[in-house]
């Protein structure tokens, strides 16, 4: 809403600079949250008994794995449910794009921040708060390692957007021109 009022008042150069500043702030905020959460979450690895009295450590990690799967299933249900609405609104969502959305959509910065807030909340019992922080940190870790580690491979296998032959030919011609110009100048 605010951008709709301000953008028309800015020149194209100022709009670009505004976008760069806002993007940088968002990027840095995201990194700060992950860094702080990582520093705080280390204690769950060092002191696993601190995770609450919810069973053995193996049971907690089993619950974490189950939660990871349930979150992906929930995301799948949401994508499948709203895909027809998105198509009807003109956004269009192919099955391959939906698969990519389900696999790559979880990141966790917001959930991680909320989990850390809950952990420090005086109105929630300490064991419950530590359990929430444990599961939140664990989910973020799993999505960063598993989803983040395999997203490139999933993207390549799905072949979401095949390269345009025109674009490839055009790029090849331009690169040949640059190479010839470099050779002519002795570079």
Q: Each residue of 96-114: pLDDT tens digit?
A: 989 998 888 766 666 777 7
Distance of CA 166 to the CA centre of its chain: 32
Token pair in block for residue 25? 């702030």
Distance of CA 27 to the CA centre of its chain: 12
Token pair in block for residue 99? 């698969």
pLDDT tens sequence across 112-170: 777 777 777 888 887 787 777 778 878 878 887 888 888 888 888 998 887 788 888 88
Burial category of 41 from C-beta neighbours within 10 Å (exposed 0-12, middle 13-18, buried 19 and up):
buried
């Amino acid at each position: 809403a605010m951008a709709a009022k301000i953008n028309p008042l800015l020149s194209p150069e100022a709009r670009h600079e505004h976008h760069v500043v806002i993007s940088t702030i968002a990027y840095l905020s995201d990194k700060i949250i992950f860094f702080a959460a990582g520093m705080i979450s280390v204690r769950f690895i060092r002191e696993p008994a601190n995770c609450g009295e919810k069973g053995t450590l193996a049971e907690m990690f089993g619950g974490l794995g189950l939660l990871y799967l349930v979150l992906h299933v929930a995301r799948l249900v949401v994508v499948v449910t709203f895909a027809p609405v998105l198509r009807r609104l003109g956004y269009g969502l192919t099955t391959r794009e939906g698969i990519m959305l389900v696999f790559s959509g979880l990141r966790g910065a917001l959930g991680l921040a909320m989990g850390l807030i809950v952990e420090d909340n005086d109105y929630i019992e300490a064991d419950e708060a530590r359990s929430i922080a444990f599961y939140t940190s664990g989910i973020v870790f799993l999505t960063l390692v598993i989803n983040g580690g395999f997203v490139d491979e999933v993207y390549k296998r799905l072949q979401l957007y095949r390269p345009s032959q025109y674009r490839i030919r055009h790029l090849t011609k331009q690169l040949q021109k640059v190479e010839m110009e470099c050779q002519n100048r002795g570079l």
